[in-house]
Amino acid sequence: MTTTLDMTFYVHKADGTDELACEIQLQDTNFGFSAIIDSMVLHPKILSADISTIVQVSSTFGAIDTAQMAALFQQILTISLDPINSAINSFTLTIPDKVFGLFGLS
């Protein structure tokens, strides 16, 4: 799966208001995944996550080193794959074995 993700970061100020800090776009982010159905229970797993390019859309504090940010995001994704997969596996999605009462799946 390839997607583009828009991210917006805000600063929470002492007076209780929020101010836009920066907006970035993660372009051509690739996710590799598998979805195995065993005994009619779906077992999804993210196999890989790769960020291609980060583009700075806006910033209230100047230029952002998007190459360094992409490398850091890549490290975060790599480290977090196991915890994300554990969280995904804590939910159970059972696939129905009858569709509209007409078709049996196995």
**pTM (2 d.p.):** 0.67
Cα 21 to Cα 49, 56, 68: the distances in Å are 26, 11, 18
Residue 105 has pLDDT above 80, yes or no: no
Residue 14 lies in a domain: yes
Q: Which of 34, 29, 32, 21 is nearest to 73 (CA)?
A: 29
Pairing of strands 93-94, 53-59: unpaired
Domain count, the chain: 1
Paired tokens of 40:
């009619």
Residue 103 lies in a domain: no
Strands (E), the chain: 2-12, 18-38, 41-50, 53-59, 93-94, 98-99, 103-104
Predicted confidence at residue 106, as pLDDT, reads 67
Phi and psi angles of residue 71, each rounded to the nearest 5 degrees, phi first: -65, -40
Residue 34 lies in a domain: yes
Residue 54 lies in a domain: yes
Residue 104 lies in a domain: no
Cα separation, 23 vs 3, whole angstroms: 17
Contact assessment for residue 56 and residue 66, using Cβ atoms and an 8 Å cutoff: yes
Residue range of the domain that includes 55: 2-95
Q: What is the pLDDT of residues 55-100, one digit of tens each?
A: 999 999 899 999 999 999 899 989 999 999 999 988 888 887 777 7
Residue 21 lies in a domain: yes
